[in-house]
Amino acid sequence: MFKRLFVVLVLVGMVLMASSAFAASLSIATGGSAGTYYPIGGAIAAATSKVDGLNVTAETSNASVANAAQVALGEIEIAFCQADVTAWAYNGEVLEQFIGKPLTNLRAIAALYPETLQLVVSKQSGIKTLEDLKGKRVGVGAPGSGTEGDVRAIFNAVGLSYNDMRIEFLDFNGISNRFKDEQIDAGFVVAGIPTAALMDLTTTKDVTLVNFDSATMAKLIASAPFFAPNVVPAGTYTGIDVDINTPSIMALLITQAEQREDVVYAFTKGLFDNIADVQASHAMARNITLENATVGLTAPLHPGAARFYREKGIKVD
């Protein structure tokens, strides 16, 4: 009898262990509520929570730069991060927060979608090119943000500096509010399109986006190869009825090397098994596909994600 009871208890224990093999609570750091990370992050959290044993939530954050640091320190499990910021963090370069302090435990889970650099300007300002920013009031992103890093890369490529203009360190909402108060002439926003802050702004103020000509785009890509050409289609925003040529940067999902392989595998599987739910959450989410998940990564793949991609026949390094 005791032997039989012992066997039953062992079997029950094995079942419980198997059922809890992927048990984990994960948080995804997104960005501000006015950007694109936030709604898509919420959809990813809901999709991956469908996996037995996974409880995933999304939360607002200060976006790419802060996200990379939090992930590396183990303060959050998964985060959105621009591809260029991921590279700068992993290699310990470019941004002051990272120089000489490489975050080599960052790992990629998936490439998501292109984030579009949008240089929004007041039509009254007469700004039509980057050169026209000289002497103007310009929002360059929150201090040390991914957007601000992108602005520095662009200015470096075309020979501009912060000394050429009156800069303000503003996030998306800050830029939108300054335009509404007519206290700014131009502002940089890097996010998936359409961006909530700009959708609101273009319905209330007479603004437009700067078109990057082919020569400027070539200079930028030669200097900063993380950038790629992109287009904001006509009609994306109220009052902007022509296509706008502009650079983009890939958005990634990142984690840390120390995350359990089985948990990251389950998360990645949950994401792509339920990708239709995620794609329905935002126009940019339609760009998230299994076929492109390993394209343009700027940190090593986490073994759990790599295992899933190999099972799907995707070659990974």
Q: Where are the beta strands (DSSP E) in the chain?
A: 24-29, 54-59, 78-82, 106-122, 137-139, 166-168, 186-191, 207-209, 228-232, 244-256
Residue 273 Cα distances to 8, 56, 259, angstroms: 35, 15, 21
Q: What is the pLDDT of residue 26?
A: 98
Give SS3 for 29. Answer: strand
- End-of-domain residue from the set 228, 249, 270: 249
For residue 286, give the DSSP letter. G
* 174 domain residue, yes or no: yes
Torsion of CA 212, 213, 215, 219, to 10 degrees: 10
Report the CATH number that the domain containing residue 242 is assigned in CATH.
3.40.190.10
* 201 domain residue, yes or no: yes
* 7 domain residue, yes or no: no
Q: How far apart are CA 159 and CA 162, in angstroms?
A: 11
Cβ-count burial 5-22 (b if 16+ within 10 Å, e if not):
eeeeeeeeeeeeeeeeeb
Helices and strands in the chain, H and E counts: 11, 10
* 317 domain residue, yes or no: no
* 84 domain residue, yes or no: yes
Q: How far apart are CA 267 and CA 304, in angstroms?
A: 9
Q: Give 303's contacts (C-beta < 8 A, 6+ positions apart).
A: 261, 264
Q: What is the pLDDT of residue 210?
A: 98
- End-of-domain residue from the set 249, 271, 292: 249
Tally the C-alpha atoms within 13 A of residue 138's C-alpha that lie toward its C-beta: 25
- Residues forming beta bridges with residue 229, ordered by sequence position: 247
Q: What is the pLDDT of residue 18?
A: 45
Same domain, 178 and 235: yes
Q: Are 65 and 144 in contact (CB under 8 A)?
A: yes
Q: What is the pLDDT of residue 3?
A: 52
* Biggest CA pair distance of the chain: 90
Q: What is the pLDDT of residue 6?
A: 47
| Token pair 């943000």 in the structure block, residue | 145
Q: Give 164's contacts (C-beta < 8 A, 6+ positions apart).
A: 133, 134, 135
Q: What is the pLDDT of residue 33?
A: 83
Q: What is the pLDDT of residue 224?
A: 87
Parent domain of 160: 116-249
Instruction: Give the chain's end-to-end CA distance (angstroms, integer).
Output: 54
Mean pLDDT for back-to-back runs of 10 residues, the chain (317 residues): 48 47 88 88 98 96 92 98 95 91 98 96 97 98 86 94 97 92 96 91 96 96 92 97 97 98 98 98 95 95 98 92
* 95 domain residue, yes or no: yes
Q: What is the pLDDT of residue 22?
A: 60
- End-of-domain residue from the set 223, 249, 275: 249
Q: Determine the distance from the C-alpha atom of residue 186 to the mean position of all C-alpha atoms in its chain, rounded to a whole number.
A: 22
Same domain, 122 and 234: yes
